[in-house]
Amino acid sequence: MSWLGRLLGEKPDEALPLYTAVVRRARAEHWYLDGAVPDTVDGRFDMIATLLAIVMLRLEADPAGGDPAARLAERFVDDMDGQLREIGIGDIIVGKHIGKMMSMLGGRLGAYRDGLAAGDIGPALVRNLYRGTAPDEAALAHVRDSVMAFNGALAATPMPYLLAGDLP
């Protein structure tokens, strides 16, 4: 943060390290090669939203986690706003797209919360990550097992490490 920002009372973007780590994790090529996630703008959005939802559920599970989860969602909105503008979406339409993306993220939070509680996130992955068209069983198993392992590792990771962007 610049000295001018500190003088004007701007707060540092505390969610940036964690958000950057989530995006970096979502861009790993194994999701697209071994997991058959479509390597498209929509597929990349879906992968980011999937991992972001899993991280947000972890943050919400922590007694002090609610505020970091909200900041992470705000960081997501800021990033998606910039991405939309970069691909040429105009000011008038950006808000509608952001609203739709937030609705999609909220739906994923509920679907993955329910899937984790039931012990099977496969149906939620097919519906949300693959948009209803299931890949072959090996690809789905790769993503399902990887997301479940990530979720388990997140649960064992102390909150200060997560907030610093040190994902397991």
User: What confidence tens digit (pLDDT) does each residue in 68-107 have?
Assistant: 888 898 898 888 776 766 767 666 676 776 777 778 888 9
Mean pLDDT for all residues in the chain: 87
pLDDT at 165 exceeding the cut of 60: yes
| 108 pLDDT more than 80 | yes
CA distance 164 to 157: 11
How far apart, in whole angstroms, are the C-alpha atoms of residue 79 and residue 140? 28
Mean pLDDT of 121-134: 95
d(C-alpha 140, C-alpha 146), whole Å = 10
Q: Is residue 79 part of a domain?
A: yes
The CA-based dihedral angle spanning residues 48, 62, 99, 26, taken in that order and rounded to the nearest 10 degrees? 0
Q: Is the separation of the CB atoms in 104 and 112 below 8 Å?
A: no
In a domain, 8, yes or no: no
Residue 3 lies inside a defined structural domain of this protein: no
**Residue 55 domain boundaries:** 13-158
109 and 53 Cβ atoms separated by less than 8 Å: yes
Q: What is the pLDDT of residue 77?
A: 80
In a domain, 165, yes or no: no
Section 100-128 average pLDDT: 92
Is residue 7 included in any domain, yes or no? no
Share of the chain above pLDDT 90, in %: 62
| pLDDT at residue 3 is higher than 50 | no
Query: What pLDDT, on the 0 to 100 scale, is given for residue 76?
Result: 85
Within a domain: 167: no
Q: Give a yes or no: residue 4 inside a domain.
A: no
* pTM for this entry: 0.84
Confidence band, pLDDT 50/70/90 cuts, at residue 64: low
Higher per-residue confidence, 22 vs 95? 22
Number of domains making up the chain: 1
Q: Is 62 helix (H, G, I), strand (E, B) or coil?
A: coil
**Domain presence at residue 168:** no
Contact between 21 and 167 under an 8 Å Cβ cutoff? The reply is yes
| Residues contacting 15, CB < 8 A, separation 6+ | 68, 71, 72, 74, 75
Could you tell me which residue, 25 or 45, shows the higher pLDDT? 25
